[in-house]
Structure 1
Amino acid sequence: MAGVMAEPVRVVVGVSGSLGSLAALHRAVAEARRAVGRAVGRAVGRTVGGAGSGTGGGGAEVLVLHAWEPPGGEFGYRRSPCPPLLSAVRAAAEERLAEALAEAFGGADPGVPVTARTVRGEPAAVLLAAADRPGDLLVLGPSGPWWRRGLHRPVPTRCVRAARCPVLVVPRPELALVLDGLSGRGVDAELRGLVGAGRRPGGRG
């Protein structure tokens, strides 16, 4: 058969600007580089074996997504639309994504094609819609600390359960763990202070 080029490996990664999502971005690029290395190795093997006209390696690419929503969510925005506020939130999302890329690569060439987009929508839904091919790889940072999650199920949990492709969840970086611990102690201290303040008027809780 004449040379048939394989579809490039696509690594989809969600970026929020947190340390965990930056670690996920680095891992996504590393996985794409590995895919390129494997493709090159296969191509060399076919050439050495005399099958240079076989299936092409296909390469790899990284799709970086930053999801954003109107303040109060889509339901709240439909009830009280404010186009100027929406434009400001969109611009802030674009700026946050640009800052994340700058922090991750510092202007250096990541070594693989990288496409970055801001997408309006709930993060898990945006990522699942983008990573829609079985051959994709969805890379995610860890879920945030418990006091930041609220009542929503963590994005990694939702994606692992519903994704059509493999999902790689990157562990929380050591620095983020330290910062989480400091923040957690601050929250614990605040809660203890509130409990103590509630006990003072009566003398005993």
Structure 2
Amino acid sequence: MNNHLIVVGVDGSDGSRRALDWAAGEAADRDTAVRAVMAWYWDGVEADVLTATSPEEQRRHASQVLHRQVQEVIAARGTHLPITAELVEGSPAAVLTTAARGADLLVLGSHGHGRLRHSVLGSVSEAVIRKATCPVVVVPTPVPASIPE
């Protein structure tokens, strides 16, 4: 690994926040930059009527989510390493695998948005793992501790 770049898939979910935080820590250890990438597109299937009523609104909402998530991680970590944000129109798996070409690492959260998409089309993480040309890290979502009986 010598390109000095970690790409992280961001979608506003807790899983992607955890992935971005993990990547920022890894980047600090490696003296590597982080690029947070969020894919967006408009099809109306999962659009939140309260936040997105048109493609322009969907893009604006996605941009706000991306930049808020990046700023939260920068504020929490106080990192001196660059974390850039990139908003790209397209399907998440295609956008992320393209963004990660030549990267040292691609980092994803294990669960993001899109239960309907997952049940119909499959997981973004699964598709990315099959298509990626660099190592992929999937940061797991913590499992709640079981209640003693």
User: Shorter-chain TM-score category?
Assistant: 0.7 to 0.9
* 1:118 equivalent in structure 2: 87
Pair 1:139 & 2:107 matched: yes
Structure 2 counterpart of 1:21, from 12, 16, 21: 16
Structure 2 counterpart of 1:62, from 31, 34, 54: 34
TM-score using structure 2 length = 0.80
5+ residue gaps, structure 2, are: 46-52
Deviation of 1:106 after TM superposition, in Å, equals 2.9
Structure 1 counterpart of 2:65, from 93, 96, 117: 96
- 1:69-108 → structure 2 map (5 Å cutoff): 69-72=41-44, 85-106=54-75
Deviation of 1:32 after TM superposition, in Å, equals 1.1
Residues paired across the two proteins, number: 137
* 2:50 equivalent in structure 1: none
> Using a 3 Å threshold, how does the CA distance of structure 1 residues 9 and 142 change in structure 2: closer, same or farther?
same
Structure 1, 93-102 or 60-69: larger mean CA deviation:
93-102
Larger fraction in strand: 2
- Greater C-alpha radius of gyration: 1
Deviation of 1:102 after TM superposition, in Å, equals 3.0
Distance between the aligned counterparts of 2:88 and 2:57, measured in 1? 14
Task: Answer whether contact 2:100 2:132 (CA < 8 A) is retained.
Answer: yes
Identity across the alignment (%): 36
**Equivalent AA in structure 2 for residue 64 of structure 1:** A
Structure 2 counterpart of 1:33, from 28, 33, 49: 28
Per-residue CA shift, 1:109-149, capped at 9, x if unaligned? Answer: 3221111011111111100001111x520000003489442
Task: Answer whether contact 2:34 2:84 (CA < 8 A) is retained.
Answer: yes
* 1:192 equivalent in structure 2: none
Deviating beyond 6 angstroms after TM superposition, the runs of 4 or more aligned structure 1 residues are none
**Equivalent AA in structure 2 for residue 94 of structure 1:** S
SS at match of 1:150: helix
* 2:96 equivalent in structure 1: 127
* 2:124 equivalent in structure 1: 155
Distance between the aligned counterparts of 1:15 and 1:93, measured in 2? 10
Distance between the aligned counterparts of 2:41 and 2:24, measured in 1? 26
Highest relative contact order (Cα 8 Å, sep 6+), 1 or 2?
2
Distance between the aligned counterparts of 1:18 and 1:12, measured in 2? 17
Computed over aligned residues only, the root mean square deviation of the Cα atoms, in angstroms, reads 2.5
